[in-house]
Structure 1
């Protein structure tokens, strides 16, 4: 029995994530082998409400300080990276719902058992027809597609007088499409983030009514501080929080191994090595510093959202730069942990091995690439950032 929407939102995201932790650990191997989240884990996540954090409160969303959401991603990713990634991915699909009219929003998000997927890549084409659009295309890397009930997919809109290819003047929209219109193509044969089930999906000439097609200039139906948060940099911050969670998992596993592999009379044990001691100390202080910087930058944005203020480019840059820096350094630290641990890092029974694969996959996402640091630097130097998602 699923909790009511009211029950779902009474628990903080971090508390709910701590309750998921044991389930995620228990089903890590199953998630890895299935290449998607284990069924019992999916059910637990649905009941927790974590898939719905990006929605308005009346639909079971969080609608409060987004730092709590970052904490949730970190906790979940520390237990199993695919879980943090999947919840983060759902958050974006729910955030896109802010652009629907209220009636359409209620229809798409009415069922608390539903899971959502998205692709912001404009890999489809939507032809304008009477009352809406005919959508066709194939989208790559659609995380959680096998367990999702609704998809938000971006397309190039074509019709009389509109460009037929991507480029200057192209008209791009997001389309809300039910799973019945989706064909999943088994393409997700990977090492890192294997449990996210990020296959390709195909849509063949599916009609989408006008109300289910939106863009970033569409009006926001429900005005509240959370719906005023910038999508781009908050999505980058979420990716960084996932990376921090994986970093913590690798660090914790190294400490665990050091305590478990103590051999009286044999010297030196792993924990007696200077390099290990240095890496553990460096990891702890680095994680704390990165987390603090990220949370502080997002907290500033939250306070501005509550006051209905317009964000300055510098405030947005603080989030972008904190996100890219946190994720990049986290990846470097996981690599350092992997190297310092020696041969134990090679064995899949240790979480260090999985963390090393997963964090490199996490940082392949476009929202955390180095060019966002360039955009932040432009803001600090008084130059107007040109990145399409910098202010959205």
Structure 2
């Protein structure tokens, strides 16, 4: 059996593993920014920690326990470098998709503990049905971590055998597991926020994928446990929100640090003496604690139901969706307030506030945490049936 850091919960929690990476992340933050992907030393330490594999079953080195601990790990990682939290979160989704593989395929794709995984749930490719599997071609945008990844999970429109050849009613979509050898990376990631995630476009041309490596959300789950029964959609949203909270924590901690360091003798008031700064620091700390508490509470409720094998109600799912959206959007607003209150200090890249401001706006562009999901949650609260494609998955 693989000896994961997470096999013994009392030995190493995901949060503890994340804390051990903090100093490495800080010391390599400018390298990560310059490379536009995670610094090699960071990747090496993340792989060794098991954090890239949290979404897998325990026998493959996964966590398979309380998902709130995973959210805490995302927040801790993102407080040191948002690109790291984002990359680990993306790996979690790519590993979560593995629940739909048969056990033999799962063991093959996830057998190497040094491997990194990437994914795109956008149906930007086409998979033509052929004998024994599919012929896959396409170009996918925003594939985070593509340069450091060994396997890719890419979504395609399935064509052939009378199926529609375009997206729309009756279209059939599947996820395809594809090794890095079949992937062409196209250098498109020239951005400000989340620069270190390396979210370039990727291209595949006429690559054969066998039937066993093609799954969808209706495929059977090979390994049945409480963690593999967790809903993918709202938990992915909660993970995105946790990254935003980590960025808010980084900005708050940095502002406090700057205030304590810039204390000068004389009559002129220092940064910490300004009413606005004092108010913003207090508001930020309170906001962070409140948002974190609500997010964790909603996910803990889902976890309790999963352990019992119960079906989630729309209200329980709505609690996670709405807590995620509120955490993300309020964290973004608070970071902007910190950025404005700190004045010219916010302009300098040596301070985390500057990076936090860029990164959190990039995080909140993700489709999993848009206003649409608040509408869906509101429908549930009003006794209507939410119709979002990922609401119950």
Q: Same fold (TM over 0.5)?
A: yes
Structure 1 equivalent of residue 385 of structure 2: 384
Find the aligned partners of 1:103 and 1:250 in 2 and give their Cα distance.
45
Find the aligned partners of 2:91 and 2:63 in 1 and give their Cα distance.
13
Find the aligned partners of 1:337 and 1:59 in 2 and give their Cα distance.
42
Alignment of 1:49-68 (within 5 A): 49-68=50-69
Structure 1 equivalent of residue 198 of structure 2: 197
Name the SS for the 1:165 alignment partner. coil
Alignment of 1:330-341 (within 5 A): 330-341=331-342
Structure 1 equivalent of residue 217 of structure 2: 216
Structure 2 equivalent of residue 9 of structure 1: 7
After superposition, the C-alpha distances for 1:264-303 in whole angstroms (9 at most, x for unaligned) are 1042110000000000000011100000000000000000
Structure 2 equivalent of residue 149 of structure 1: 150
Name the SS for the 1:141 alignment partner. strand
Structure 2 equivalent of residue 290 of structure 1: 291
Structure 2 equivalent of residue 103 of structure 1: 104
Alignment RMSD, CA only? 0.9
Alignment of 1:231-310 (within 5 A): 231-310=232-311
Name the SS for the 2:356 alignment partner. helix
Find the aligned partners of 1:310 and 1:272 in 2 and give their Cα distance.
53
After superposition, the C-alpha distances for 1:153-192 in whole angstroms (9 at most, x for unaligned) are 0000000210000011100000000000000000000000
Find the aligned partners of 2:13 and 2:3 in 1 and give their Cα distance.
14
Alignment of 1:95-174 (within 5 A): 95-174=96-175
In structure 1, stretches of 5+ residues that fail to align are none
In structure 2, stretches of 5+ residues that fail to align are none
Find the aligned partners of 1:7 and 1:263 in 2 and give their Cα distance.
46
Alignment of 1:73-112 (within 5 A): 73-112=74-113
Find the aligned partners of 1:284 and 1:7 in 2 and give their Cα distance.
31
TM-score using structure 2 length? 0.98
Name the SS for the 2:115 alignment partner. coil
| Cα contact 2:6–2:14 (8 A) shared by 1 | no
TM-score using structure 1 length? 0.99
Find the aligned partners of 1:214 and 1:124 in 2 and give their Cα distance.
15
Once the two structures are overlaid, the 10-residue window that deviates more, 151-160 or 8-17, is 8-17
Name the SS for the 2:148 alignment partner. coil
Find the aligned partners of 1:312 and 1:160 in 2 and give their Cα distance.
37
Name the SS for the 1:226 alignment partner. coil
| Cα contact 2:143–2:199 (8 A) shared by 1 | yes
Aligned-pair CA distance for 1:7 = 4.2
Name the SS for the 1:227 alignment partner. coil
| Cα contact 2:4–2:62 (8 A) shared by 1 | no
| Cα contact 1:8–1:47 (8 A) shared by 2 | no
Structure 2 equivalent of residue 322 of structure 1: 323
Find the aligned partners of 2:115 and 2:320 in 1 and give their Cα distance.
30
| Cα contact 1:5–1:112 (8 A) shared by 2 | no
- Aligned residue-pair number: 390
Find the aligned partners of 2:178 and 2:281 in 1 and give their Cα distance.
47
